[in-house]
Amino acid sequence: MLQDIERYLACPLCAQDLTRHDRSLRCPSGHSFDLAKQGYVSLLAGDAHTGTGDTAGMVAARSDFLAAGHYRPIADALAEAAVAAAAATAGDRAGGPAAESGGLVADLGAGTGHYLAHVLDALPDRVGAALDISKYALRRAAKAHPRIGAVVCDAWRPLPLRDASAELMLNVFAPRNGPEIRRALRPGGTLLLVSPTARHLRELVDALGLLSVDEEKQRRIDEKLGPYLTPADRREVEFTLRLGPQDVRTVVGMGPSAWHTDPERLEASLAALPDPVEVTASVTVAAYRR
Ligand SMILES: [Zn+2]
């Protein structure tokens, strides 16, 4: 529910705290944001557009793909890493102030809330903020778990989160903004970042002529986050997907290739694939601490 996370939210225009007034969130300067009846709130700055977000059709296909369990090993690895990060944070505070229950897990680029819901299942006393630019995705995220609040925002603008509000942040195949992640994380808090390795979907990259992930991706992520966060832990998760033609279309649409693939050529290449086709899924789950 949105009420669970309102105390962590900040005005996207002036960064002051937001508080609830009936069906809107307001800051002391009078900026006001109406709650959507589908259970989310849009905290976009006035001149931002959601045109770069996913369409309803893309969101539905992605939701079906994730619900079918194809990426379950990734969700499981993320939940394990989240439990480990929570234990490390609690350990840091031993002897100090008691660890606060109800701490915030913020998922940047949360999509339909699939991964955040999985993490909240593993952390029963935390609440989750699903942040995304797509309102279609967030309509689903708002219903994905009882402890999720869903917020439309732009990952490249100041995040609508108060300073040092999040104990844990998640970023799965999504844009990341190092300075804002550092600002919103508590000291000692953790960012869990899931990114594809160069082997991710390699059979489809070859067969369908998709963009490949370059070998240097992890090093470039570390360089970009380096000024703000410290790498703590990482593991690779690799498994085999068995995909029918519709699953292949979805997985292509979920990656960076979505905007660079000619639909006719894609369909012709798809017809030449075995059904089902075996495809490698390969990601890194990396933890960074503030
Ligand atoms: Zn304001």
Report how far ligand 1's centroid is from the alpha carbon of 17 (Å).
8
Q: How many CA atoms does the CB half-sphere of 187 hold within 13 Å?
A: 2
Contacts of 8 (CB under 8 A, 6+ apart): 104, 106, 129, 161, 162, 165, 166
pLDDT tens series, the chain, 290 aa:
899 999 999 999 999 999 999 999 999 999 999 999 999 999 997 665 655 567 788 888 889 999 999 999 999 999 999 999 998 877 766 654 444 566 999 999 999 999 999 999 999 999 999 999 989 999 999 999 999 999 999 988 999 999 999 999 999 988 889 999 999 999 999 999 999 999 999 999 888 888 777 778 888 898 899 999 999 999 999 999 999 999 998 888 776 655 566 778 888 888 899 999 999 999 999 999 99
Report how far ligand 1's centroid is from the alpha carbon of 30 (Å).
6
Report how far ligand 1's centroid is from the alpha carbon of 158 (Å).
13
Q: 2-289, superfamily in CATH? A: Vaccinia Virus protein VP39 (3.40.50.150)
**pLDDT value at residue 96:** 47
**pLDDT value at residue 53:** 63
Report how far ligand 1's centroid is from the alpha carbon of 11 (Å).
5
8 A C-beta contact, residue 162 and residue 8: yes
8 A C-beta contact, residue 138 and residue 132: yes
Report how far ligand 1's centroid is from the alpha carbon of 290 (Å).
27
Report how far ligand 1's centroid is from the alpha carbon of 34 (Å).
13
What is residue 132's three-state secondary structure? strand
Neighbours of ion ligand 1 (CB under 5 A): 11, 13-14, 27, 29, 31
Report how far ligand 1's centroid is from the alpha carbon of 271 (Å).
53
What is residue 1's three-state secondary structure? coil
What global pTM score does this model have? 0.92
Domain boundaries, the chain: 2-289
Beta bridge partners of 183: none
DSSP state of 9: B
What is residue 137's three-state secondary structure? helix
Residue-wise burial string across 8-23, b where 16 or more C-beta atoms lie within 10 A, e elsewhere: bbbbbbeeeebeeeee
Report how far ligand 1's centroid is from the alpha carbon of 146 (Å).
28
Report how far ligand 1's centroid is from the alpha carbon of 10 (Å).
8
Report how far ligand 1's centroid is from the alpha carbon of 104 (Å).
22
d(CA 36, CA 137): 13
d(CA 132, CA 134): 6
Strand ranges of the sheet holding 19-21, from the earlier edge strand across to the other edge: 19-21, 24-26, 32-34
**pLDDT value at residue 97:** 47
